[in-house]
Amino acid sequence: LRSGFAPAYDNFMGFFHAIDWKEPWLICLLALHVLLLLSAILSRKHINLQMCLFLLALSGVYFAESLNLFLSAHWQMFSTQNYFDPHGLFLSVLWSGPLLVLAILILINTLLSLCHLIVQWKRAELRHRARLSQKKEN
């Protein structure tokens, strides 16, 4: 099993080492993803803000191809090398991947909130039925 993962690991490490992680725009991109994640965590009780973040993340993924085309044409303005290949691997890994993870986390939080709301609703319904049956007995 370990030998089966060796080529994938080697490819990942080659990808990782090919990137100059000290470039300011890459640092800002990573900071943006951390900021979005913190926003999602801190706003987990505010469903409207969560839905805005969810739509923002999915919009970012939707426009990734257009963004890749634009950035591949203008990479000299902000980068020391062209990371933006025609297949969009770099942008998929460092842009779309984190946004999809964020969207999945928001979706999981929304489903958990929905489950909690259903439990509250059922408890209130049972209390209401108990009160009605008590009134009928009296």
Between CA 127 and CA 132 the distance in angstroms is: 9
Using one digit for the tens of pLDDT, what is the confidence trace for 78-119? Answer: 999 999 999 999 999 999 999 999 999 999 999 999 999 999
Helix, strand, coil abundance in the chain, percent, nearest 5? 85, 0, 15
Residue 28 domain boundaries: 2-137
- Is the Cβ–Cβ distance between 21 and 28 less than 8 Å? no
Using one digit for the tens of pLDDT, what is the confidence trace for 47-60? Answer: 999 999 999 999 99
Q: How many domains is the chain partitioned into structurally?
A: 1
Tell me the pTM.
0.84
Using one digit for the tens of pLDDT, what is the confidence trace for 57-74? Answer: 999 999 999 999 999 999
Between CA 47 and CA 53 the distance in angstroms is: 10
Using one digit for the tens of pLDDT, what is the confidence trace for 31-48? Answer: 999 999 999 999 999 999
Query: Residue 1's pLDDT band (boundaries 50, 70, 90)?
Result: low
CA distances from 85 to 16, 65, 68, 107 (A): 15, 11, 8, 30
9 vs 87: which has the higher pLDDT: 87
pLDDT at 18: 87
Between CA 104 and CA 85 the distance in angstroms is: 26
Query: Residue 10's pLDDT band (boundaries 50, 70, 90)?
Result: confident
- Is the Cβ–Cβ distance between 68 and 91 less than 8 Å? yes
E-only strand ranges, 1-138: none
